[in-house]
A and B are shown apart, each in its own frame.
Chain A
């Protein structure tokens, strides 16, 4: 066998299909989707995310708690009638605060991930496609930015320019495109020399068609997987910003800020100001990671044809 492999590296040998497996031909994406749906943890992750989207955006339409007018008569109430999760130190309804904070977390997570993925994909694809000196210089730029502690710069910018959903998304996204850029470049570099791309080129495909029909669909897997992790990271970043006191301003709410308000009352035992919102952060981030892991597995399986 070793003599037949020719120029194949050992890695390619393990990836080659084993022969003798004849089944119905299905498109890779459908296979991946089925694989994904069979993964219970992945379905759980999706369910949690759907729940939080409904909870944050539809919830306030159904549940009308007070989160705008502070009321001194209702401060720090424990959970009970009228306030399922108690009230904050300003008399706001905690459940409503968490719903509104959830909007900010999901919006920033989504926008920041979108920005990071768009910049990263373009940067990586251009770098990988052009190659040579341009590629080397572009990757050194990535190296430089990767060495800069992102959280520090994000904090400095947030302090100076104030925090809104848009500005936070721009800042966090602007410092998160480096990993996707590297991933996409790697994919493009390895795809560029694959046989099916050469075949398409020999068959007379234009450069644009090559990119559109062959490179993008095949590099998409990596990008999609990374997007979910980007969302998780962005939600953690905005929570950290809010906790340090550089998050969104009233009347907007963010989860990190809610938590840091609750910390002042820890010794008084006002648990409802800390744990519900903390658990929300953990659940959403965990759900994103679950979905990302499952996507990676399902797309990997497609590669291995197992």
Chain B
């Protein structure tokens, strides 16, 4: 077990290194030097050359990569060109808000999708199952921003229940308390995630229901409630662990668009603004952060699954 975990962590570290290399190279090819963006379009060649030399952009890219990697290992993510702040300071101001939005949405989605999938599997091919399946199918095909817009139209503009702009407070405690303004962003991201989860949950629950141990549990006279709680729920939840680990890219993309749509000042909105300003180090750092989170998510999911499922025994 320990050996397996160590090996998985080792692979993850190698993948993270590979990812940092690929992302750095890609961004280097796209933006060889931020000189023009810093100095302005009318900077002359001499100033650009001086800028490149001063900031090391004239060195071979492999040297630049090693330098960046070294800085990363020392906790230095570079600094934002447009906002004149270090990237880590910018991230520090915002990460809690993004984590709050994502965490609440993911938790809600899991709490709703698991019972929903089990309900659909038990009552399959009934009206309730059809409604839930069609709903998930439509939301699954819907762009995140369109989903958010419909929610704004119905619950903010028509019914006046919630605000159409997310909370602008800088303290995450205040944001958490401001359900009036946070309801719609959270609902958007939650619905998106439920749509992605529930069809898997339904098919997993159906597979588990067909297993022999469920038949045995029923045959020995266990009340249906206990069959569902003890045998179905626990086994049907196992694939959810992997699914949650795999959902991080979806959450990151959803976060980017939701934060932009609701003007919620988190990491996604920072990335969007940096795109428009071509803020090189912010783009680099956030893409890298997203990749690292994805790798960590998969790693934790793999390890959690081996802990949770005793049937998985690894050599």
Contact = CB atoms under 8 A, between A and B. Distances in A.
Contacts of B30: 156-157, 160-161
Q: In the complex, which range does the number of interface residues on chain B fall in?
A: 35 or more
A256 B144 CA distance: 11
Interface in B1-54: 14-16, 18-19, 22-23, 26-27, 30-31
B141 A266 contact: no
Interface string A240-277: 10011110000000001001100100110000001000
Given A274-B149, A282-B138, A289-B140, A151 B256 contact: yes
B252 A149 contact: yes
B264 to A, nearest CB: 15
Interface string B121-160: 0000000000000000110111111100110110001000
Interface in B269-304: 271-272, 275-276, 278, 283, 286-287, 290-291, 294-295, 298
A161 B27 CA distance: 12
A281 B275 contact: no
B83 interface: no
B250 to A, nearest CB: 10
Contact of B143 (A144, A146, A152, A281): A281
A153 B283 CA distance: 9
A155 interface: yes
A143 B143 contact: no
Given A151-B253, A152-B271, A145 B22 contact: yes
A239 interface: yes
Given A148-B22, A153-B287, A155-B275, 7 more contacts: A140-B15, A147-B295, A148-B291, A151-B249, A152-B252, A240-B143, A243-B145
15 contacts: A140-B18, A141-B18, A144-B19, A147-B295, A149-B253, A152-B252, A153-B26, A157-B30, A236-B143, A263-B149, A274-B153, A278-B149, A278-B150, A281-B142, A282-B138
Interface of A: 140-141, 143-153, 155-157, 159-161, 232, 236, 239-240, 243-246, 256, 259-260, 263, 266-267, 274, 278, 281-282, 285-286, 289
